[in-house]
């Protein structure tokens, strides 16, 4: 027991030192950037990987706080509130990836903000940029009556394992991972780079594995990689896959750089073959790293309860109970879902929620992918107290997960890519439906989602009725507009459907759009016919013709030239998006990166993280080779291409031949198992190589004549 405790304490201390180094490094990079020592594009990539994201307003940043599967303790919630008050505006925003965002933060203050968050084990690391992003999961994981087992510990392990991994820092694009608790697939695994749905075979826990999905401007449904993969093999599979994506993925065109495009290009079978070859390089001790249960809440044995047993004479309370309260798998316990309009709440509400958790001894709070929050472990006798406290916080709106629970990204409020407003549209629609269709407040078979642009941060592609921001030109100017999409959603067990574009209408006509669609559905659908079934029966052209009159621009009211929530005439003002970092091709910068990675490799080696050390060495070799190719004016768009091009164009200049290729040296990474002996030998070879690469033409670099890739 003493040795285990000592090992654990050493792990905690090592993590603390890595965090401190991260924070100090961010401060140093900010200072170097302001002194003109780091190019703007390079600095952008650095800060994005540390959760610092440029927003629409100049001179301030959005900070994304990374919360695995949305779980947060009372102390963490108080810490987030304190940070928001001190460094931001006191507003907290829940994202569709179960993160928290705060806005209008000064760049200079971000290192101290991060340091304050880490006091309660909350991180910004890899919350943005070309990294492994937050790991999401069904909000009901662990309490779902239909789950085969709780996926939460596996989501936690994946989150912790991939944090700060060298192969997850500078990818071609981001990686998104999701765990669903059952075949209902509430986490939408089918639109993720990696999706996992629990399975059990011969009493062995495992997962159905989905790979290569994604939304964005060009949605892809994920492929089934495995119908069943044992649970202890998912991390090696993810790591090997990311390594292949890092090596073969597109680097030159950001629009084609997600994993879904690589799999589409080379085929799933070839991709999985490459993954199988890469597994030798993965250092993952299955015995040491077996998933252990998290600190679980101690549930008592309570009598079962029906939702109807909770009703009182208060009709509003009863509606809230019907739509927002659900029985857990633990007998006699309830989960309470709190609807948070637009996912926006404030620090006074956060502190009150933290107090509520403590005062009622509730285990935790979870943020959901539809921008709400959940309290779990609630006893029936506590429910009215919770309702009363939530009423004081203005958080008792009914209709969780239904037609009036609209998901919307921040859009033009803060995002550089926003074209037209999404937030005020959502609020107007919710109010309109509640007033005009009160019987549909409990309707959970129709979901509305809105994005400010086609990139789908509001997940409009998953909606039964979706909208994304756009614009329409007229003789008199430009109208804010919304593209209407219909028919999206999950179909279960890792399958789904992407909403189809129907028609584009001026934004101010959106209420009439929804009214027209709902009235048509309510009038003509057959009994128990779901909305998407009705949409399929009628067809896209039917709805196009139904909505076509709303696109008539012969009569345009002056107010239609102003977007929702705005009092000035609309004008498109799209900035440069930062959903992923950019690629830097400055020769001097690439060599600097190579040297930094060698330093990180040596540090990893000293900590016996051999696989990490080897990967840092591999990345250093890639950066140095790319620098030399750029000097020669040779375009580079993937790591594998860099290796091939170096062999073809420069290998002979540096003493390589057909029997002794440069790529053979670098790709030893996946030919030998990670070990101390191999790591030392590999790093020594690469360090010597990089010194030789840099020595030729060094004077040119010292004189500052760096060459950029113009392609």
Among candidates 316, 371, 324, which has minimal Cα distance to 343? 371
Q: What is the pLDDT of residue 695?
A: 78
Any idea what DSSP says for residue 526? P
Q: Please, are residues 197 and 183 in contact by the beta-carbon 8 Å criterion?
A: yes
Any idea what DSSP says for residue 90? S
| CATH class of this structure's domain 407-561 | alpha beta
197, 311, 319, 323, 455 from 438: Cα distances, Å: 35, 19, 11, 13, 32
- In the chain, residues under CATH classification 1.20.120.330 are 587-702
Any idea what DSSP says for residue 548? G
- E strand or H helix at 533: helix 531-538
Q: What is the pLDDT of residue 582?
A: 39
The domain 587-702 belongs to what CATH superfamily?
A: Nucleotidyltransferases  domain 2 (1.20.120.330)
CATH topology classification for 1-71+84-122: Sulfite Reductase Hemoprotein; domain 2 (3.90.480)
Q: What is the pLDDT of residue 707?
A: 37
Domain 307-392 maps to which CATH number in 3.40.50.720, 3.90.480.20, 3.40.50.300, 1.25.40.10? 3.90.480.20
Q: Which long-range contacts (CB under 8 A, 24 or more apart) does 623-627 make?
A: 623/590, 623/591, 623/593, 623/594, 623/597, 624/590, 624/591, 624/594, 624/689, 624/690, 624/693, 624/694, 625/650, 625/662, 625/666, 625/693, 626/585, 626/590, 627/587, 627/590, 627/591, 627/594, 627/693, 627/694
Q: What is the pLDDT of residue 12?
A: 65
Which two tokens mark 88? 């931001």
Strands 194-201 and 175-179: parallel
The string of pLDDT tens digits covering residues 186-242 is 999 999 999 999 999 999 999 999 999 999 888 999 999 999 999 999 999 999 999
Q: What is the pLDDT of residue 10?
A: 59
Residue 307, Ramachandran bin (φ over 0: left; ψ between -120 and 50: alpha; else beta): alpha
Which two tokens mark 283? 């250092």
**Cβ partners under 8 Å of residue 332, min gap 6:** 300, 301, 302, 303, 304, 305, 379, 380
| pTM for the full predicted model | 0.91
Q: What is the pLDDT of residue 288?
A: 44
- In the chain, residues under CATH classification 3.30.413.10 are 130-296, 407-561
CA dist 276 and 270 (Å) reads 10
Q: Please, are residues 572 and 419 in contact by the beta-carbon 8 Å criterion?
A: yes
Can you name the residues that pair with 504 across neighbouring β-strands? Answer: 483
The string of pLDDT tens digits covering residues 574-621 is 554 555 443 334 577 788 888 889 999 999 999 889 999 999 999 999
**Regions in the chain scoring below 70 on pLDDT:** 1-12, 285-295, 573-586, 696-711
Q: In this structure, how many other beta carbons lie within 10 angstroms of the beta carbon of residue 296?
A: 11
Among candidates 639, 630, 697, which has minimal Cα distance to 663? 639
- In the chain, residues under CATH classification 3.90.480.20 are 1-71+84-122, 307-392
What dotted CATH number matches 130-296?
Answer: 3.30.413.10
């Amino acid at each position: 027991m003493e040795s285990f405790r000592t090992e654990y304490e050493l792990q905690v201390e090592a993590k603390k030192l890595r965090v401190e180094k991260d924070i100090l490094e961010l401060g140093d990079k900010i200072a170097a950037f302001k002194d003109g020592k780091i190019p703007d594009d390079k600095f952008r990539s650095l800060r994005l990987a540390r959760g610092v994201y440029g927003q629409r307003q100049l001179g301030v940043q959005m900070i994304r706080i990374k919360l695995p599967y949305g779980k947060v303790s009372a102390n963490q919630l108080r810490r987030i509130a304190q940070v928001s008050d001190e460094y931001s505006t006191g507003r907290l925003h829940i994202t569709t990836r179960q993160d928290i965002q705060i806005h209008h933060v000064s760049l200079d203050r971000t290192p101290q903000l991060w340091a304050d968050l880490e006091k309660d084990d909350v991180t910004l690391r890899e919350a943005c940029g070309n990294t492994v992003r937050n790991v999401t999961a069904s909000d009901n994981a662990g309490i779902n009556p239909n789950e085969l087992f709780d996926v939460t510990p596996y989501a936690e392990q994946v989150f912790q394992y991939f944090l700060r991994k060298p192969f997850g820092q500078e990818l071609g694009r981001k990686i998104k991972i999701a765990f669903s608790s059952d075949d209902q697939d509430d986490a939408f695994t089918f639109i993720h780079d990696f999706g996992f749905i629990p399975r059990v075979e011969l009493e062995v826990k495992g997962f159905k594995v989905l790979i290569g999905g994604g939304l964005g401007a060009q949605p892809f449904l994920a492929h089934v990689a495995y119908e069943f993969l044992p649970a202890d093999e998912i991390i090696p599979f993810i790591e090997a896959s990311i390594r292949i994506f890092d090596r073969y993925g597109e680097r030159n065109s950001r629009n084609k750089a997600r994993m879904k495009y690589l799999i589409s290009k080379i085929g799933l079978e070839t991709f999985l073959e490459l993954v199988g070859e890469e597994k030798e390089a993965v250092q993952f001790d299955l015995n040491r790293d077996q998933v252990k249960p998290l600190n679980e809440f101690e549930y008592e044995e309570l009598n079962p309860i029906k939702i109807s047993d909770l009703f009182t004479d208060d009709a509003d309370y009863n509606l809230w109970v019907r739509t927002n309260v659900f029985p857990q798998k633990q007998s006699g316990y309830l989960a309470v879902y709190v609807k948070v309009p637009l996912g926006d709440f404030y620090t006074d509400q956060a502190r009150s929620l933290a107090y509520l958790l403590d005062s009622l001894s509730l285990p935790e709070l979870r943020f959901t992918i539809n921008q709400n929050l959940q309290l779990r472990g609630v006893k029936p006798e506590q429910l009215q107290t919770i309702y009363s406290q939530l009423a004081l916080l203005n958080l008792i709106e009914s209709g969780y997960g239904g037609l009036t629970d609209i998901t919307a990204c921040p859009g033009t409020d803060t995002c550089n890519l926003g074209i037209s407003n999404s937030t005020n549209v959502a609020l107007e629609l919710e109010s309109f439906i509640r007033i005009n269709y009160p019987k549909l407040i409990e309707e959970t078979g129709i979901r509305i989602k809105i994005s400010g642009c086609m990139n789908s941060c509001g997940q409009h592609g998953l909606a039964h009725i979706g909208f994304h921001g756009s614009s329409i030109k007229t003789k008199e100017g430009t109208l804010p507009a919304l593209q209407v999409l219909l028919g999206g959603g999950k179909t279960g067990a890792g399958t789904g459907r992407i909403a189809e574009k129907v028609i584009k209408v001026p934004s101010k006509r959106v209420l009439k759009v929804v009214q027209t669609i709902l009235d048509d559905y309510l009038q003509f659908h057959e009994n128990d016919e779901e909305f998407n079934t009705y949409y399929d029966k009628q067809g896209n052209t039917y709805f196009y013709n139904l909505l076509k009159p709303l696109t008539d621009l012969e009569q345009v009211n002056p107010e239609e030239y102003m977007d929702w929530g705005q009092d000035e005439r609309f004008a498109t003002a799209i900035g440069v998006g930062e959903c992923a970092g950019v690629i830097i091709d400055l020769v001097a910068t690439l060599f600097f990166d190579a040297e930094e990675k060698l330093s990180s490799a040596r540090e990893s080696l000293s900590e016996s993280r051999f696989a990490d050390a080897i990967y840092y060495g591999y990345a250093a070799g890639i950066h140095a080779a790319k620098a030399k190719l750029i000097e020669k004016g040779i375009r580079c768009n993937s790591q594998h291409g860099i290796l091939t091009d170096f062999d073809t164009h420069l290998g002979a200049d540096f003493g390589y031949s057909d029997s002794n290729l440069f790529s053979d040296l670098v790709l030893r990474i996946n030919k030998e198992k990670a070990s101390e002996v191999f790591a030392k030998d590999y790093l020594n070879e690469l360090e010597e190589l990089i010194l030789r690469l840099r020595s030729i033409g060094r004077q040119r670099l010292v004189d500052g004549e760096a060459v950029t890739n113009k392609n």
